[in-house]
Amino acid sequence: MLKVKLTWEKVLKAEDLIELFDEMTEFGSRVQAKSSSKISKEHHIEDNVYAVFYKVIAFAITLHKATKSLCEAGWTHITPILLRALLECTANCLAVIYNELPEYMAFKYLYHPYVKTLRDNKFSEDARKKAEYDIEQGIKNLKNPKAIEKAKQFVSEKRLEIFWFKPEEDGVSAIINKYGNSELKFTYQSLSMSTHAGHFGLFLFKDNSDDIDINPCENPEKTEGAILFSCKYLLELIYIRNAYEKLGFDSEYKRLIEKVFKFKPEVRR
């Protein structure tokens, strides 16, 4: 059980926060299951877009669970790195669905590393041949003629961009600034201080930022914030999928976001 010291006056216990955390994990699993069922029956979105959502959100859920594990072990001050990765999951999905050809952008996300392998002589010939075969199969699975044309162009370009979403998008921050709200922008910028080991970011999630210690420690106030951050932004990512695929979880999202906001005013420091 998380060792969280509650500091607000409402009649809430640590178990309420953990219950909310577990609800987010369960909600994500239900949305995954509904999407899988819907695509098998209706094929409501392109295969590549489905694959991106399925893989990215599964990874986001593991980040969510890992955040709790770090907090329980006394490493709350390390969680900003995971939480920033959670926001990058959101950015990747936004870059796909807001493009005029989501199927093509999903192809780029999925096959960018294969193209990189194909062009890198450091990989074995067998590895490069396998990458080439996988790319060819990926193109064959595309349905939209424009997506097929752009995918072939992407694979044949002489210069491969470092980031999969270029040149359509400038960067993760640019994606978040373009498609996200002001809160998301601020949160991503704040968490980036930790990921880049900036001075203020080193102990951003320590109750006492002047406490320099290499050992695990309890940070009850920031632990509340870490768990709540993870709950909120995992929920927002899941809702992006729900809205795009029309999965019918709007009322469940509303119920859960209201639960998040019951905590939110009290954990801001």
Average pLDDT of every residue of the chain: 88
Q: Is 211 exposed, middle or buried (0-12, 13-18, 19+ CB in 10 A)?
A: exposed
pLDDT of residue 201: 64
Q: In the chain, what are the domain boundaries? A: 14-99+173-267, 101-167
**Among the listed ranges 45-54, 108-117, 213-222, 246-255, which one has the minimum average pLDDT value?**
213-222
Q: 255 pLDDT exceeds 90? A: yes
pLDDT: is 64 or 192 the higher one? 64
Output the DSSP codes for 72-91: HTT-GGGHHHHHHHHHHHHH
8 Å CB contact between 24 and 64: yes
Q: How far apart are CA 32 and CA 162, in angstroms?
A: 30
Q: What is the mean pLDDT of residues 181-201?
A: 82
State pTM to two decimals.
Answer: 0.88
Q: Which residue has the higher pLDDT, 17 or 45?
A: 45
